[in-house]
Amino acid sequence: MPTYAAFLRAINLGPNRKFPKESIKAATEATGATDVETYINTGNVRLTTATRSRATVEAALEAAYALDRGFAVPTITFTLPELRQIAADAAEIAGRLTFDGERRHYISLLKTEPDDEPSRSLEALSTDLAIAVVRGRAVHLILDTAYHETGLGNAQVERSLGVATNRNLTVIRALAQRWA
């Protein structure tokens, strides 16, 4: 049975979108998933399921989360080999870029595979302080400025490429080591 890493978008923001880890785990298990584990309270979930279609897994999770919470929780899943590849890509991309200041690396995880032209257009927005590199369903944002000071963040990724959720490289590396 396949094991997935699921990333929940826009939870635990403000007073109305709370979704504690214990509730995430219970709602995930309600879909029939097993071996469910969460990691920190930002919506990172590992699960095993007999379902082999990523879209079907995401739809089942989104339905269970909406039922549990009363609001939509967009969910983006990757197989564990895909998660390992995202972490490997991050190391390769970071290794070939240089900055004068402190580098911050974030990864926007996309719900759907982007087309080439929008991907190239997003990458073309890169500056000396913020670089975007699209690899499959992951957009690597390497910043030499504070995240809130750049126009090249997850909001821009979503405007260009569709639904996404963002994690920092530390979380992606930890999940790749822990789960994959």
What is the H or E stretch that residue 22 is in?
A: helix 21-29
For 124-180, what is each residue's pLDDT tens digit?
999 988 999 999 999 999 998 777 788 898 999 999 999 999 999 999 999 999 997
For 67-119, what is each residue's pLDDT tens digit?
999 999 999 999 999 999 999 999 999 877 766 666 889 999 999 999 999 99
114: Cβ–Cβ under 8 A, 6 or more apart, which residues?
134, 137, 160, 161, 162
pTM for the complete prediction?
0.94
**All domains of the chain, ordered by start, with CATH?**
3-79 (3.30.70.1280), 81-179 (3.30.70)
Given a contact cutoff of 8 angstroms between Cβ atoms, the answer to whether 68 and 14 are in contact is no
